[in-house]
Structure 1
Amino acid sequence: MTAQRPEHLTPGRVASHLGVMLAVAAVLGVVVAGLAIPFAGVVGIGAKNVAETMDQLPAELETEALAQRTQVLDEDGEVIATLYDQNRVNVQLTDVSRMMVKAIVAIEDYRFYQHGALDLKGTLRAFITNQASSGVVQGGSSITQQLVKLTLVDQAKSKKEQAAATDESYARKLRELRYAVALEQRHTKDWILERYLNTAYFGDGAWGIQSAARHYFDVNAKDLNLKQSALLAGLVKNPYGYDPTKFADRAVARRNVVLDRMAELGIIKERRADKIKDRKLGLKVQATPNGCVNARAPFFCDYVLNYLQKDRSLGRNVKERRELIFSGGLTIRTTIDLDAQAAADEAVAAAVYPEAEAIGGLAMVEPGTGKVRAIAQSRPMGSDRSIGQTYLNYVVNQKYGDSAGFQPGSTFKVFVLAAALEQGLPTSTSFNAQPQMEIPEYEYEDCDGEPYGYGTWPVGNSTSSGYMDMYRGTRESVNTYFAQLEMETGICEPYQLAKAMGVDLTNPEGKGPGLPERVPSFVLGIPDASPLEMAEAYATFAARGLHCDSRPVVAIEDARGNLLKEYPAECQQVLQETTADAVNDILRGVIEGGFASAQNLGRDAAGKTGTSQSGRAIWFVGYTPNMATASMIAGANESGTPKSLEGVDIGPTTIYGASGSGYAAPVWGNAMRGILDQLPAESFTPPSSVTNSGSFDDDGLDDD
């Protein structure tokens, strides 16, 4: 009886298979033998053209650094956020379990350590089998060839490059073959396998073997057992299709294929394979949060990102800096104190609810170092406005956040107070602070030395009136007292002093959007500022006149743990120590018998209340010798547009008679009491005589 030919192997199809075999042989001959062409031309591609195409390709494949995830750490080294474009942590081959190495080689390229860049036997076998089956049944690419493809896809910078890295043309195959030869010539087999394991995608957001081991099993790559290794080895063929978190049955079947292959090759006993095949996947999936939304301190994390993306030393532009941050495998060591952050979060959350038409914000800055210890706001990070979420950071300077700030009210009086003391005016300087006053038209000298007329200025008190000195005028926050004190100091020096102490004043004469800042009402806090700016400024008093720029980062390390950059304290003495001592003594009165006496901490502390015009924002900025904290509540709709706080339900209460002492000061007090056990009970230096130090120059620094 004549044997029947299988239906799928018709004469025409057999001829086609032979043609493909000849084409493969021709291509392989070119690659392996350089330009030695064993066949003249087959299936529409001439050997001469193949050789010319090979000649035009680069002789080497540049393997760029793989994208790795970045970790953001608190001051004690705990992870507060992970940032990545690809969730990958590179490991050396010696840090991958031997069973994992055996599993991946068995299923992907069992002769990897015997053949060169190309597995001729495996490639021909795969072509024949796949053509005979009218589909892809076997893969013929070696691990080196797979690495080339993964590398080209990973390094593609444009859609055109991505398409070229994945198309099914002979040109792409030839390019991969040439690069594979180059890789084998330049690198050891172990290097190639290590790179492959770190490059491969294992599904569900896990790039590289270490991230995959952590993600699926919560173990390190070096601790993967047989069952785990077989599963991961099976995923690289189709990371989505075999994803065990989505398609458990498929993942089990694929894992078992790997186990069978390992048994077939004699790597493990068949009975061991059968035993493992009967077991469940044993997943212990660990999510790896990405970005600031999932951070332990979302808005502090956001501040860190914006701070670093402004650092020109990290890249030529924002795009380069972002790529370094999200792909560089950095370790970013920050200044955040999680205990302080927790205290800040709790204090703000208890005072202002997320969905309220108000924003509660608080910042903590360490005097003498500029370290930002906490950033908190009442609206959590997210996109659901119905529950008060937002992505806008209202607490930090506008250049690092999303808000132009809010009017700080009488908290600005301290800049006129300090300028007066710097100019040699004694604390006994007294005025008759009438309830209502029309400050007559007078001329100040502009900061450039030119006279500048402001016209008359009507001003009234909202607290007390009478004949008073600096102590009483500050303790009772008397507007007409400070209006007269500002006539003595002029506007220029308090304005420059505020800038020197960290307030981002940029619109002195009102040119462009926003109100003019350098006007007589400056003393009443009409310029906009953020809680972070005000905490930084008041920290200068706590540090006896030493101003330190706020900083959320202390150092960055690269993927290998080498120091990339340090961010040391940047400090300048902008006030005499004796001036700061006098200010501290005066501001103690606000807490010790003044409007904020309910927030007395039982140790040395000083501060100032503030209420903006129309009650749109209320403040309390206070400090001990070792911590400065600014608390603010501002009226704002869901888009952040300012509005009056009068009658606004902020959650636990409705505001009537908006005042810094009544609503913002308790938030400050609760936050400070939350960390009081961590702060040494230090005392302010008692004030002594204050000498005249001259005026501030254009940089806001003392002429001396």
Structure 2
Amino acid sequence: MTAQRPEHLTPARVASHLGVMLAVAAVLGVVVAGLAIPFAGVVGIGAKNVAETMDQLPAELETEALAQRTQVLDEDGETIATLYDQNRVNVQLSDVSRVMVKAIVAIEDYRFYQHGALDLKGTLRAFITNQASSGVVQGGSSITQQLVKLTLVDQAENKKEQREATDDSYARKLRELRYAVALEQRHSKDWILERYLNTAYFGDGAWGIQSAARHYFGVNASELKLPQAALLAGLVKNPYGYDPTKFADRAVARRNVVLDRMTELGIVKGKRVERIKKRDLGLDVQTTPNGCVNARAPFFCDYLLNYLLKDRSLGRTAAERRDLIFSGGLTIRTTIDLQAQASADEAVTSAVYPESEAIGGLAMVEPGTGKVRAIAQSRPMGRDRSAGQTYLNYVVNQKYGDSAGFQPGSTFKVFVLAAAIEQGVPTTQSFDAQPEMVIPEYEFEDCDGEPYGYGTWPVGNSTSSGYMDMYRGTRESVNTYFAQLEQLTGICEPYELAKAMGVDLTNPEGEGPGLPERVPSFVLGIPDASPLEMAEAYATFGARGLHCDAHPVVAIEDSRGTVLKEYEPECEQVMQETTADAVNDILRGVIEGGFASAQALGRDAAGKTGTTQNGQAVWFVGYTPNMAAAAMIAGANESGTPKSLEGVSLGPTTIYNASGSYYAAPMWGSAMRGILDELPAESFTPPSSVTSYSSGTDDFDDDDFDDE
């Protein structure tokens, strides 16, 4: 219970408190009670002057919220990561075992509930006991004084404030006593003891009694028994020197001192204590992983952190946001599905080994919500480059990761396809897709309605050629077909549609570093993109044209369980439902008889292969009505610099003819098959007034074409 606010401290009241200090110093002439006031230093100081000095100090000690660890949970409430600067979980005094409370009071301040801010009797007794023992056995400072010091150290924002909180000066002792008096007047004894137990450091990275109990014994603070309580009570005096994980003999001796003190005070019986003193420490050390490198999904965790650090609703600056995340004791409820994550991890790491000069990456996004269900890559998180480890996240957008992405190749053709259907171009639109064509670029209209007009564009096919419609042109990924389709749509609308569907296109005309993006060859996927962007974009088709921003978090709660923020899906209809239905029907042909026919799931699924012209990356992006996934394998050295995949060993195989259907599509199929049991078998909405995917040219096998 919190007491009433203190009255204004009069000179007489301050002189009374100071008189205790002066009496102790005069009798002992030494450092006592943590108040180093040499006798010579106080001679000649009048009570009135000291009272005025004390009166100028702040009347209260601001006890800010203690740093607590944050939990990151999956969609089912399982912990996937813990984040903290101090491993602490606050508990109420009623949630601490009574024997633990008695042990800490016995060894640190046995008259805590009888005295005020300073205990003269306890101070004198501690001094005499310590002198007789030729060492420090009992503490002299009251628990309230200790709490003041711990608080000042904890709240110090720089080295100067840390020095001021711990220096051995007269000013510091006066300030501590002034604060201690204020705490005693403002708060109840139980509040002070609870705060003390939550603030104290118990060594080996454990802050506060709950974390200490979990760390050393694997139990909650409410479950601590006498031997455990005695050990923990003894640690606060010297957390490192008595650390039982480093100095077991010292820890045993210190525990026994606490037990003897509890016997002396009549708290426990001597025979029981003697039996306990013969036991070992009984440790069951539990580690609490910290940070993303120890998370169950390291790169999802990394993406989540970067996402939250850019959320200005969580703090004005990045530093404030980081402090809230790592010290706020939050519960962060995320979108990750651990079954999807495990399936994605298995698919990627089986296809591309960590030491390979290639990177395998896969992202899963839920259509209609934008929830990111999995983020996986072949290079594990860590600093050991010889083992293929990295801290660079290649799977997510550059603003949340570390890579500008890789060229997605023919997976970009869908943006021209959708733009054409949205403009009213029928799916029966046919062209003579010649093996090679040279197209004047002035025949492509840009965003200003004027011809693009920067020369000619030579285009060639690596698959098939001939007279074909949208179904065959897409199923066989015919470059010259889509070059001519883009002549009808113009460059601008497919480009803007890709942005609206989640692809981070930021360099349309090539200003600054990087290639220009809004050019005729856009249809062949020359802009860089990440698997997460492509999964988000294709999820739009699965949701019948409803685009939802990809996001990794559902809600954030504070340490009391109060919701700080909920993250609702942010969605927008970016194309007509009938347009998406037509695209879905066309892209079904890629899996049902096309290049990716080996990855059929036994239910409605659609997708598109992609291979860059120079063989630096291969892709497959596919989806069902309730899950979209983008799989990518890109050539890259240990620093992530792109390189050709030709001749690169992935581990289980070596690439000699890079193609999305042969290398990336199986990775996608493996990941998707691993979650089919949790995905309802939904069907695409049949397209209206379009030719079915089953019409057109005859079916063919993967081996009919070398590349797409």
Query: CA–CA distance in 1 between the matches of 2:281 and 2:30?
Result: 42
Which amino acid is 1:541 matched to? F
Query: CA–CA distance in 2 between the matches of 1:518 and 1:317?
Result: 34
> Map of 1:188-267 to 2, 5 A cutoff?
188-267=188-267
Which SS does the other structure have where 1:686 is aligned?
coil
Aligned twin of 2:281: 281
Determine if contact 2:33/2:123 at 8 Å carries over to the other structure: no
Aligned twin of 2:9: none
Which SS does the other structure have where 2:441 is aligned?
coil
Determine if contact 1:436/1:460 at 8 Å carries over to the other structure: yes
Aligned twin of 2:696: none
Aligned twin of 2:427: 427
Aligned twin of 1:371: 371
Deviation (angstroms), 1:445: 4.2
Aligned twin of 2:439: 439
> Map of 1:84-483 to 2, 5 A cutoff?
84-126=84-126, 136=136, 138-442=138-442, 444-449=444-449, 451-483=451-483
Mark the CA change 1:18 to 1:429 in structure 2 (over 3 Å): closer, same or farther: closer
Query: CA–CA distance in 1 between the matches of 2:307 and 2:32?
Result: 57
Determine if contact 1:69/1:85 at 8 Å carries over to the other structure: yes
Query: CA–CA distance in 1 between the matches of 2:132 and 2:284?
Result: 41
Deviates more, 1:134-143 or 1:272-281: 134-143
Which SS does the other structure have where 2:547 is aligned?
strand
Deviation (angstroms), 1:449: 4.6
Q: For residues 39-60 of structure 1, what are the alpha-carbon distances to aligned partners after superposition, in whole Å with 9 as ceiling and x for unaligned?
A: 9973686656543431221010
**1:678 partnered with 2:661:** no
Aligned twin of 2:556: 556
Determine if contact 2:348/2:378 at 8 Å carries over to the other structure: yes
Which SS does the other structure have where 2:402 is aligned?
coil
Aligned twin of 1:643: 643
Determine if contact 2:25/2:31 at 8 Å carries over to the other structure: no
Q: For residues 9-28 of structure 1, what are the alpha-carbon distances to aligned partners after superposition, in whole Å with 9 as ceiling and x for unaligned?
A: xxxxxxx9975746989999
Determine if contact 2:435/2:464 at 8 Å carries over to the other structure: yes
Query: CA–CA distance in 2 between the matches of 1:524 and 1:317?
Result: 40
Aligned twin of 2:695: none
Which amino acid is 1:480 matched to? T
Deviates more, 1:672-681 or 1:75-84: 672-681
Unaligned 5+ segments in structure 2 are: 1-22, 691-708
Which amino acid is 2:277 matched to? K
**1:529 partnered with 2:529:** yes
Deviation (angstroms), 1:121: 1.7
Deviation (angstroms), 1:317: 0.8
Query: CA–CA distance in 1 between the matches of 2:87 and 2:187?
Result: 26
* TM-score normalised by L of structure 2: 0.91
Determine if contact 1:443/1:454 at 8 Å carries over to the other structure: no
Which SS does the other structure have where 1:174 is aligned?
helix
Mark the CA change 1:499 to 1:44 in structure 2 (over 3 Å): closer, same or farther: farther
Determine if contact 1:353/1:378 at 8 Å carries over to the other structure: yes
Aligned twin of 2:20: none
Q: For residues 274-314 of structure 1, what are the alpha-carbon distances to aligned partners after superposition, in whole Å with 9 as ceiling and x for unaligned?
A: 11111111111100000000000000000110010000000
* TM-score normalised by L of structure 1: 0.92
Mark the CA change 1:221 to 1:27 in structure 2 (over 3 Å): closer, same or farther: closer
Mark the CA change 1:581 to 1:385 in structure 2 (over 3 Å): closer, same or farther: same
Query: CA–CA distance in 2 between the matches of 1:27 and 1:205?
Result: 25
Which SS does the other structure have where 2:633 is aligned?
strand
Deviation (angstroms), 1:560: 0.2
Which amino acid is 1:323 matched to? D
Query: CA–CA distance in 1 between the matches of 2:474 and 2:49?
Result: 88
Determine if contact 1:72/1:80 at 8 Å carries over to the other structure: yes
Query: CA–CA distance in 1 between the matches of 2:24 and 2:184?
Result: 30
Which SS does the other structure have where 2:293 is aligned?
coil
Query: CA–CA distance in 2 between the matches of 1:450 and 1:457?
Result: 17
Q: For residues 82-125 of structure 1, what are the alpha-carbon distances to aligned partners after superposition, in whole Å with 9 as ceiling and x for unaligned?
A: 00000000000000000000000000000000000111122244
Deviates more, 1:322-331 or 1:42-51: 42-51
Which amino acid is 2:203 matched to? G
Deviates more, 1:458-467 or 1:448-457: 448-457
Query: CA–CA distance in 1 between the matches of 2:597 and 2:542?
Result: 19
Which SS does the other structure have where 1:308 is aligned?
helix
Q: For residues 506-564 of structure 1, what are the alpha-carbon distances to aligned partners after superposition, in whole Å with 9 as ceiling and x for unaligned?
A: 00001011110000000000000000000000000000000000010000000000000
Query: CA–CA distance in 1 between the matches of 2:34 and 2:151?
Result: 22
Determine if contact 1:454/1:520 at 8 Å carries over to the other structure: no
Unaligned 5+ segments in structure 1 are: 1-15, 31-38, 691-704
Deviation (angstroms), 1:138: 4.2
Aligned twin of 2:706: none
Aligned twin of 1:652: 652
Deviates more, 1:652-661 or 1:437-446: 437-446
Mark the CA change 1:325 to 1:685 in structure 2 (over 3 Å): closer, same or farther: same
Count of paired positions: 667
Mark the CA change 1:578 to 1:263 in structure 2 (over 3 Å): closer, same or farther: same
Query: CA–CA distance in 2 between the matches of 1:619 and 1:49?
Result: 80
CA-based RMSD: 2.1
Aligned twin of 2:62: 62
Which amino acid is 2:262 matched to? M
